[in-house]
Amino acid sequence: VTRLYLQSKQLSGSVPPEFGAVTNLQWLYLYGNDLSSEIPAELGRLTRLQRLFLYDNGLSGPIPGELGSIYDLQWLSLYGNDLTGEIPPELAKLGSASKLERLFLQDNDLSEEIP
């Protein structure tokens, strides 16, 4: 499996940490659902991931710094959730040493400071 499209399917609950074991995954679309709890740090194991769309859910807690290990990531969309805390400094690595093209974090409760 390289692409998983589960957007706008009225899914609820948490993002399964087991997704981190699908190491060939390149696109993960889970936006527009009713997912809650925290983003699992295990998603940082998806080293081939290019697009991670988790926007417009009810995700809470901090953004896991482990997402900064996904150097192939091109699009990271986390907007429209209830994420809190600081933007992890590990995400700054994505801007300078990776293929990141788009980063969407608005409409959360994150601190204003950008690393």
CA–CA gap between residue 12 and residue 25 (Å, rounded): 21
- Helix (H) / strand (E) containing 83: strand 82-85
CA–CA gap between residue 9 and residue 19 (Å, rounded): 17
CATH number of 3-110: 3.80.10.10
- Helix (H) / strand (E) containing 12: strand 12-13
Do 79 and 107 contact (CB within 8 A), yes or no?
A: yes
Single out the residue of 63, 60, 22 nearest to residue 41, CA to CA. 63
- What does the pLDDT profile of the chain (115 residues) look like in tens digits? 999 999 999 999 999 999 999 999 999 999 999 999 999 999 999 999 999 999 999 999 999 999 999 999 999 999 999 999 999 999 877 766 668 899 999 999 999 776 6
pTM of the model: 0.94
